[in-house]
Amino acid sequence: MTSRAADRDPLTIVVAAFNEAEALPSLHPRIAAVLDGLQGDVDGRVLYVDDGSRDGTWDVMRGIANGDARVSLLRLSRNFGKEAALTAGLDRVEQGAAMILDADGQDPPELIPQFVAKWREGYDDVHGTRVGREGETWLKKTTAHAFYRVMQRLSKTPIPADTGDFRLLSPRALAALRQLRERHRFMKGLFGWVGFERVSIAYHREPRLAGKSKFSLWRLWNFALEGITSFSTVPLRLATYLGVLTALLAFVYALWVVAKALLWGDDVAGYPSMMAVILFLGGVQLVALGMIGEYLGRLYEESKQRPLYLVDSWRPGLEVSSGRVHGEGESHAYRTTPAGRQGA
């Protein structure tokens, strides 16, 4: 196998997993079978990223790696969230293309050859677009549907609808993605930002193999806010428009109040209209301040320049080692600070 590896393009399947001890044992044989089938074409490897799991996922991963030399393992020091875990994984892919797959089997590995075929045709970003989602609640499906529509309207970055992280990135798309080191990482937006030749593959999203979704509605809502504020400044502009509009309304109203007093005199009253104005303006100011706070918070986060994740252990697959995947054993924290600069 290894002797011919040199003339085949490397393809690394990157799988981020958080508490997926039940799902991984049935997922890996499926991936392995697909890679076996692709052997003549690509030099397939798998990289499992344990995103700070607490349920024995790491032990399961080690078991898998012991039985398959193509498997590399990466363990983060705690749960950093899927976006950071994927970043950590993709950072470790030194050569060839990368394919992102969920650990729960919702993205069927059996479709990998189709993605590879598109990559062979010259596409850089081959992404899976869901045409059906089984085993998901009605609420999740509708909110997700709405989210992608809103996102497309608000953002100039092309973000294909109903498309998750299930995708293959060519070496140059991967290299480009690596240059984006922002802390608020909305991966779907980052993939879109990179551009290049893109094509989508329609697929049915299967139900989870085991366990339950890590994304509660509340987490999804925050994720949506993350996406919108990371890839659009429309809400900021909205605050400005709202402010201008209310200021105008208040001005007209004030004119009318003065004119009324001049024409017909002013009998005490005043209290209700005063309250209405104060409350209304106060509300509008709070809305605007809140939005400014959102972006200010982001600036604050970015200004800290923290590493995106910290690695606990890194164990390259036996077949993958020999310097083809970088940084064996070293504790790896990606820095954006230019070499030579002090601090960080």
Binding region for ligand UDP (CB under 6 A): 16-18, 20, 51, 79, 81-82, 85, 102-104, 106, 213-215
Residue 146: its H or E element: helix 138-154
- Residue 19 binds to Mg ion (criterion: CB under 5 A): no
- Residue 157 binds to Mg ion (criterion: CB under 5 A): no
| For Mg ion, the closer CB: 99 or 194 | 99
- Judged by CB under 5 A, the stretch of 94-102, 155-163, 187-195, 254-262 that binds Mg ion is 94-102
| Residues in binding contact with Mg ion, number by CB under 5 A | 3
- Residue 106 binds to Mg ion (criterion: CB under 5 A): yes
- Residue 104 binds to Mg ion (criterion: CB under 5 A): yes
Say how many C-beta atoms besides its own lie within 10 A of residue 66's C-beta: 10
| Residue with the shortest CB distance to ligand UDP | 213
Look at residue 214 and give the partner it binds from Mg ion, ligand UDP, none, a contact being a CB closer than 5 to 8 Å depending on partner kind: ligand UDP
Shortest Å distance, C-beta 301 to ligand UDP: 18
- Residue 53 binds to Mg ion (criterion: CB under 5 A): no
- Spatial neighbors of 131 by CB under 8 A, at least 6 apart, are 162, 202, 203, 204
| Amino acid at site 177 | L
- Spatial neighbors of 246 by CB under 8 A, at least 6 apart, are 280, 281, 284
- Spatial neighbors of 126 by CB under 8 A, at least 6 apart, are 115, 118, 119, 167, 168, 198, 199, 200, 201
Nearest alpha carbon to residue 174 among 85, 118, 91, 102: 91
Shortest Å distance, C-beta 104 to Mg ion: 4
Nearest alpha carbon to residue 171 among 80, 94, 85: 94
Structure tokens at 42: 């690509």
| For ligand UDP, the closer CB: 12 or 246 | 12
Shortest Å distance, C-beta 31 to Mg ion: 16
| For ligand UDP, the closer CB: 123 or 166 | 166
| For Mg ion, the closer CB: 129 or 336 | 129
- Spatial neighbors of 194 by CB under 8 A, at least 6 apart, are 124, 125, 173, 176, 177, 180
Shortest Å distance, C-beta 338 to ligand UDP: 30
- Judged by CB under 5 A, the stretch of 103-111, 255-263, 268-276, 298-306 that binds Mg ion is 103-111
Quickly count helices (H) and strands (E) in the chain: 11, 8
Positions in the binding site for Mg ion (CB under 5 A): 102, 104, 106
